[in-house]
Amino acid sequence: MYSEPGKTKFQIDLRRHLREQDICENLIHVICEIAEACKYVINAVRTGDLGVAGTSNLYGEEQLALDVLSDRILKKRLIHTGVVCNIASEEMDEIYQAQAAADGLYSVAYDPLDGSSLVDVNLAVGTIVSIYKGSDLLQPGRNQVAAMYVLYGPRVSLVYSVGKGVYEFTLNQLMEFTLTRENVTMKPAGDIYSPGGLRNKYTPENEKFIRFLEDKGCKLRYSGGFVPDINQVLMKGKGIFMYPALQGSPKGKLRLLFELNPMAYLIEQAGGAASNGVIDILDIQPESLDHRAPVYIGCRDDVEKAKDFLNNKVK
Ligand code: FDP
């Protein structure tokens, strides 16, 4: 609910809020269409068969795995906007060109259903989206013009930024996204840690950092879903999520284009930080669609501390 002094409370919907941000009409269109597509994704997550791609359902119809279905829903919707030129998704091997011209248009990279392996155990999952002006998707995340995610939990929430702060919307009973949090802000340091990856594969530096957090009294909060785990850090305004380099996988697991860049953009917009341990996530030049990087993301001081441990500045 949003209220102005002396006025009755009213709900601000996503489109109206975007119009107040003084951004290009085409960008508003892209964000609103993604929000619409996500209503179909949540419906599929909630009611769809938990099928595996290529298998048949009760009626002998071929089923699509939820991540493949979610990808199709988003891709179709983005193509139909008429204002998106290039599209890349975690489910596609290459960039899909929806429009040849790039002038005044946008390119979108997304993970249609991050954490899809959690659906069959009924844990929260989400869609993550990164938006650039023009056709280039292989550029540093700092150049994003917008980033957003939709979290499919007990409630459905949409968190976005167009570089003017971070806002949360929640899906109401009329299936409208209405404003629930304005100018989401991170504290300088926090007491939540969310560590991904097998601990017995951690390097000694990462192991020391984790011990430091534990000794400091941080609470372990890790669901195994990147969207809910980041949402917790962001909405509580405190804590750090990490998915470090592991022995045997020096680039960690998470993907720059579809996962790290959009989340780093949102966290930075809220006053937090995101680093691969050396440089800011948003300054990494992607080498391929599949570019992966270790990540430390959350409160500024906590991310700085992680860097100190990684660079052996703390004994
Ligand atoms: P998932 O494999 O279930 O799709 O990148 C995907 C992801 O989940 C993230 O959502 C999550 O943060 C991470 O992988 C979890 O990986 P671990 O199981 O190795 O912790």
DSSP one-letter string for 199-268: GGGB-HHHHHHHHHHHHTTPEE---S-HHHHHHHHHHHT--EEEE--BTTBTT-S-BIIIIIHHHHHHHH
Q: Do 174 and 202 belong together in one domain?
A: no
Q: Do 57 and 177 belong together in one domain?
A: yes
Residue 3 resides in a domain: no
Number of Cβ within 10 Å of residue 219's Cβ equals: 12
Q: Do 219 and 275 belong together in one domain?
A: yes
Residue 66 resides in a domain: yes
Residue 64 pLDDT: 66
Residue 8 pLDDT: 47
Residue 2 resides in a domain: no
Residue 177 resides in a domain: yes
What pTM, to 2 d.p., does this model score? 0.94
Does 115 appear as a known binding residue? yes
What CATH number is associated with residue 132? Answer: 3.30.540.10
Residue 314: band (very low, low, confident or very high) from pLDDT cuts 50, 70, 90: confident
| C-alpha 85 to ligand 1 mean position (Å) | 29
Q: Do 67 and 132 belong together in one domain?
A: yes
Residue 78 resides in a domain: yes
Tell which of 159, 181, 203 closes a domain.
181
Q: Do 66 and 162 belong together in one domain?
A: yes
Distance CA 227, CA 229 (A): 5
Average pLDDT, the chain: 93
Compute the average pLDDT of residues 161-184: 97
For the record, the structure tokens of 126 come out as 């989400």
Compute the average pLDDT of residues 158-178: 97
Does 113 appear as a known binding residue? yes
Does 205 appear as a known binding residue? no
Does 253 appear as a known binding residue? yes
Residue 129 resides in a domain: yes
Q: Do 209 and 175 belong together in one domain?
A: no
Q: Do 209 and 161 belong together in one domain?
A: no
What are the tens digits of pLDDT across the range 24-66? 999 999 999 999 999 999 999 998 766 555 555 455 555 568 9
Residue 315 resides in a domain: no
For ligand 1, atom 9: residue with the closest CA: 226
Q: In what order do the strands lie in the sheet with 192-195?
A: 219-220, 192-195, 240-243, 295-298, 273-275
Q: Do 140 and 240 belong together in one domain?
A: no
* Residues near 26 by beta carbon (within 8 Å), at least 6 away in sequence: 83, 104, 105, 106
| C-alpha 113 to ligand 1 mean position (Å) | 11
- Determine phi and psi for 22, rounding to 5 degrees: 60, 55
| C-alpha 57 to ligand 1 mean position (Å) | 27
Residue 14: band (very low, low, confident or very high) from pLDDT cuts 50, 70, 90: very high
Residue 7: band (very low, low, confident or very high) from pLDDT cuts 50, 70, 90: very low
Q: Could you say which DSSP state residue 62 is in?
A: B
Tell which of 134, 157, 181 closes a domain.
181
Of ligand 1's listed atoms, the one at least distance from the Cα of 241 is 12
H helical segments located in the chain: 14-19, 25-47, 66-81, 204-215, 226-236, 261-269, 300-310
Q: Do 38 and 128 belong together in one domain?
A: yes
For ligand 1, atom 15: residue with the closest CA: 224
Evaluate whether 314 touches 258 at the Cβ level (below 8 Å): no
| C-alpha 290 to ligand 1 mean position (Å) | 15
What's CA 72's distance to the chain center, in Å?
Answer: 18
Domain that includes residue 102, residue range = 9-181
The structural domain count of the chain equals 2
| C-alpha 100 to ligand 1 mean position (Å) | 34
Q: In which residue are the tokens 């966290």 written?
A: 267
Residue 120 pLDDT: 86
Number of Cβ within 10 Å of residue 29's Cβ equals: 17
Q: Do 91 and 62 belong together in one domain?
A: yes
pLDDT above 60: residue 128: yes
Residue 239 pLDDT: 98
Distance CA 169, CA 157 (A): 6
Evaluate whether 169 touches 33 at the Cβ level (below 8 Å): no
Compute the average pLDDT of residues 137-144: 98
Q: Do 21 and 70 belong together in one domain?
A: yes
Does 182 appear as a known binding residue? no
Does 196 appear as a known binding residue? no
What CATH number is associated with residue 264? Answer: 3.40.190.80
Task: Say which residue, 56 or 162, is predicted with more confidence.
Answer: 162
| C-alpha 20 to ligand 1 mean position (Å) | 35
Tell which of 146, 181, 216 closes a domain.
181
Task: Say which residue, 3 or 254, is predicted with more confidence.
Answer: 254
pLDDT above 80: residue 6: no
Share of the chain above pLDDT 90, in %: 87
Residues contacting ligand 1 via CB (< 6 Å): 114-118, 196-197, 224-226, 229, 253-254, 259
Residue 233 resides in a domain: yes
For ligand 1, atom 3: residue with the closest CA: 115
Q: Do 129 and 199 belong together in one domain?
A: no
Task: Say which residue, 284 or 10, is predicted with more confidence.
Answer: 284
pLDDT above 60: residue 284: yes
